[in-house]
Amino acid sequence: MRFIWTVAWRLLREGRFQTALILGGVTVGVAVVVYITAIVNGLQANIIDRTLSAQAHVVLRPAERLNQRGSEPGDVLTLADVRKRTQREATVADAATVLATVRAVPGVAAAAALAAGPGVAQQGGVRKAVVLLGVDLAGYQQVIRLDDKLREGVLALPAGAALIGSELAADLGLSPGSRLRLQSAQGETLSVRVAGVLDYGIQDLNRRRVLLPLRDAQSLLGLGLDVTEIDVRAERLFEAEALAADLHRATGLAADSWQVANGQLVTALRSQSASSLMIRVFVTVAVALGIASVLVVSVVQRQREIGILRAMGTPRQRILGVFLLQGALVGFGGSLLGAGLGGALAVGFTRLARNADGTPLFPIVLQAELFVSTALLATAVGVLAAWLPALRAARLDPVEAIRG
């Protein structure tokens, strides 16, 4: 409607000071929202990325076996006496069938069988406790990315080869081509050649993890053809919990999602998201109140003009539309300015906050989606905030408005 556009635009242009005030408020508010969202999203994506780079989204293990106490005749009834049994025999016997079942579950991107167990690495009289991890390298890489972790050597696991963590390599003075003696808790030993050195970005893994071909690990750990766990990569990271439940139902194995395995991290991320949401909500409310209060003043100041417009036959809805559109315009305009300012602040932050080596602490996530949703939200908030002033303007009695 041209009347509404023309009048709304002219009134905004005419009331320069008020318009600047409102625009400034919306700009700052939107900038805060964009900045906080970008920083928090960047931080969280970075933390999750680092955490999950060496972890499966869902890990399937044999269900724990519990002692079931049969009921006994007698005076004393023990309701429960549940103790863990040793988990020695807790293995998955039919890995191929289970893998096929797992891969058929919707939401599973990839799955790999592992044979894991404790062991000791020896080299020149130095002994280090390690975790022996037998994998089919091709299948395992579909679950855990390794090519970005290779520091030295090659990413290959022929029989008799091993891929070791970078700290273990340093501790034992190993480099690709070195030989290494592995001993399992079962007493089996195996001499392997280091094919490559991996940096997982996590000290514990760098110090302890030894990747072996699945067959080598199985014989070293005395597992026969059994495996000890199935690692799964989910198609959607944040649906891993639901996927774990589905996998448990499908296989009968205990299924733990990365969220369960990293409970504290997930709690921390959730509370961070919650507080960033709170900040955004309160900033939005403050912006809405700002828009509303300036528009209320504007309506009072222009009440005589509104009265004249009503007297000459302007329908109430058109007056209402003028002020709602003003709210939408300042919301939209402020969101454009604010998105620019917030984006610039976030980029500036990554320039300032750097690691010792000069790389950014974490990458900022500036998605077009964030800008679009913020612009829509700010426009909607502008319209909502303008409701009260607009209603007030539309309900003005022309006689009283003109009398002033």
Find the part of the chain contacting other proteins (CB under 8 A) among 9-17, 63-71, 158-166, 292-300: 9-17
Nearer to other proteins, 13 or 83 (CB): 13
Rule CB under 8 A: choose which of 141, 318, 361, 388 binds other proteins.
Answer: 318
Binding other proteins (rule: CB under 8 A), the pick from 58, 92, 287, 309 is 309
Q: What is the DSSP string of 132-186?
A: EEEE-HHHHHHHS--TTTEEEE-S---TTEEEEEHHHHHHHT--TT-EEEEEETT
CB contact set of 203 (below 8 Å; sequence gap of 6+): 167
Judged by CB under 8 A, the number of residues near other proteins is: 24
The correct pick among 57, 149, 208, 310 for binding other proteins (CB under 8 A) is 310
Binding segment toward other proteins, per CB under 8 A, in 4-12, 213-221, 239-247, 382-390: 4-12
User: Alpha-carbon distance 382 to 12, whole Å?
Assistant: 14
Does 398 bind other proteins (CB under 8 A)? Our answer is yes
Chain centre distance of CA 4: 44
What are the tokens at 252?
A: 């009968």
DSSP for 171-220, please give it: HHT--TT-EEEEEETTS-EEEEEEEEEE--SSHHHHHHEEEEEHHHHHHH
19 vs 9: CA distance, rounded Å: 10
Instruction: Decide: is 392 part of the binding site for other proteins (CB under 8 A).
Output: no
Query: What's the closest the beta carbon of residue 305 comes to other proteins, in angstroms?
Result: 5
Element (H, E) at 373: helix 368-394
- 315: contact with other proteins by CB under 8 A: yes
Which range in 35-43, 168-176, 253-261, 307-315 contacts other proteins by CB under 8 A? 307-315
Q: Does 14 bind other proteins (CB under 8 A)?
A: yes
Nearer to other proteins, 340 or 398 (CB): 398
Q: What gap in Å lies between CA 25 and CA 287, rounded to an integer?
A: 6
**Residue of the chain from 68, 313, 356, 368 that contacts other proteins (CB under 8 A):** 313
Using rule CB under 8 A, residue 391 touches other proteins: no
Name the segment binding other proteins (CB under 8 A); options: 11-19, 57-65, 78-86, 351-359: 11-19
At closest approach, how far in Å is the CB of 343 from other proteins? 33
What is the pairing mode between strands 189-198 and 161-165?
Answer: parallel
In angstroms, rounded to a whole number, what is the distance separating the alpha carbons of residues 334 and 172? Answer: 61
Which residues, numbered 246-305, are part of the site for other proteins (CB under 8 A)?
304-305
Q: In the complex with other proteins, which residue's Cβ is closer, 6 or 271?
A: 6
The neighbouring-strand residues paired with 210 are: 132, 164
Side chain identity at residue 210, one-letter code: V
Q: What is the 3-state secondary structure (H, E, C) of 229-286?
A: EEEEEECCHHHHHHHHHHHHHHHCCEEEEHHHHCHHHHHHHHHHHHHHHHHHHHHHHH
Residue closer to other proteins by CB (options 2, 83) is: 2
The correct pick among 154, 277, 289, 311 for binding other proteins (CB under 8 A) is: 311
User: Residue 318 corresponds to which tokens in the numbers above?
Assistant: 């058109």
Output 125 or 404, the one with its CB closest to other proteins: 404
Residue 393 Cβ, how far from other proteins at the closest point, in Å? Answer: 14
Residues that bind other proteins (CB under 8 A): 1-4, 6, 10-11, 13-14, 304-305, 308-316, 318, 398-399, 402
